[in-house]
Amino acid sequence: MKIKDITLTQEKIRLKTPFITALREVHYAEFIRVKVVCDDGSFAYGEAPATKAITGETLESISSAVEALRSSLVDKEIEDALEVLHKAYCGSSAKAALDMAFVMLLAKQKKQTLCEFFAIKDKSALQTDITISLNEKAKMLQDAKDAFDAGMKILKIKLGADIIHAIEVTKLLDKELREAELLIDANQAWSLEETLQYLEGIQECRIALLEQPVKADELEALKMITQKSRVPILADEAVFTFEDARKVVAMGAADMINIKLMKCGGVTKAMEILEYARKKGRTCMLGSMIEGPYSINITLYLAFAYRDVVKFIDLDSPLLYEKLPQELDFIYDGATISFKEQ
């Protein structure tokens, strides 16, 4: 099965409410969608959003990377195309869009469903977290309560540079939502000292993890935090690739790793990290950017395939869309995700 053509479009889906973190404010899920067509007529889609603040890529740079790669991929067998793709020098999100389409085509080539391809045995439902955007205290409490009342029990709280606000919000949510599981994401907004001040300030609170408090490249600081913290530390922006994951684990710089297709370069690369985590007995979060439905869909297959390793699922993009998309093989009932067909 050879690749015949690769085309792309730019898509956008309006969000119910703006998504706000320490790094950015987003009103739409905007992404490039690639369509890879093979000589036997089969085809598959892949997607990549622009997250300039994180991967450095824009919609334009993703498009031009795909355009530039096209001639080296067309007329190749899928396996060969994957090899060429991952040797190429381009952004990780552009790679992820093509990689996921290639993986779906590999499954088609083997005449396997994606469940068979990923060897998914246990199809019982999983829970995603839901993101609570960075806002003033009262608004964050209201948003968190609304989410909890709508059945979302795992809340991912986005905090910003103001460490006093961060401590107060955490204490407030801990007090008001005793039954919720709280995941705290600082998106690199704090210094080492501020992080220690935060951890001191919230010692009485029950939080499940603290994600990427310091800058991505401050691994020594992250390690120090991990050593001192009784709350598990999750590395996000610090880990893009398999090599990054191995380094963080070897250093003991974090307790857990947040794997996202857009950072590592796609499904095949995410699987390498997941296999490594499984071997090392480490747990991960499987996350995403604000992404389109096809990329969330394939990530959900990974969540089911690696449910022993994936302790938290941060795949709430479809819940943020104004309307639930048709492209998913899954149903979201609040935060509960199950297969459309068992």
Q: Are 190 and 161 in contact (CB under 8 A)?
A: yes
Q: Find the catalytic residue in 95, 108, 156, 260.
A: 260
Q: Find the catalytic residue in 236, 237, 291, 316.
A: 236
The full DSSP string for 48-71 is EE--HHHH---HHHHHHHHHHHHH
Least separation in angstroms between CB 237 and Mg ion: 7
Using CB under 5 A as the criterion, what x/- string covers residues 141-180 for binding Mg ion?
Answer: ----------------------------------------
What is the C-alpha to C-alpha distance for residues 276 and 96, in angstroms, rounded to an integer? Answer: 19
Q: Pick between residue 29 and residue 90 the one whose CB is nearest to Mg ion.
A: 29
What is the C-alpha to C-alpha distance for residues 130 and 334, in angstroms, rounded to an integer? Answer: 9
Q: Pick between residue 96 and residue 101 the one whose CB is nearest to Mg ion.
A: 96
Collapsing DSSP to helix, strand or coil, 258 comes out as: strand
Q: Is 76 one of the annotated active-site residues of the chain?
A: no
Collapsing DSSP to helix, strand or coil, 88 comes out as: coil
Total residues interacting with Mg ion, rule: CB under 5 A: 3
The full DSSP string for 158-175 is E--S-HHHHHHHHHHHHH
Q: How far is CA 189 from CA 21, 186, 193, in A?
A: 10, 6, 12
Q: Does 236 bind Mg ion (CB under 5 A)?
A: yes
Q: Which residues are 35's β-sheet partners?
A: 7, 45
Which two structure tokens, joined as six digits, stand for 279?
């071997």
Q: Is 129 one of the annotated active-site residues of the chain?
A: no
Q: Pick between residue 85 and residue 221 the one whose CB is nearest to Mg ion.
A: 221
Q: Does 185 bind Mg ion (CB under 5 A)?
A: yes
Residue nearest to Mg ion (CB): 236
Q: Pick between residue 120 and residue 256 the one whose CB is nearest to Mg ion.
A: 256
What is the C-alpha to C-alpha distance for residues 184 and 227, in angstroms, rounded to an integer? Answer: 18
Q: Does 129 bind Mg ion (CB under 5 A)?
A: no
Least separation in angstroms between CB 185 and Mg ion: 5
Q: Does 316 bind Mg ion (CB under 5 A)?
A: no
Catalytic residues, which ones? 158, 185, 211, 236, 260
Using CB under 5 A, list all residues that contact Mg ion. 185, 211, 236
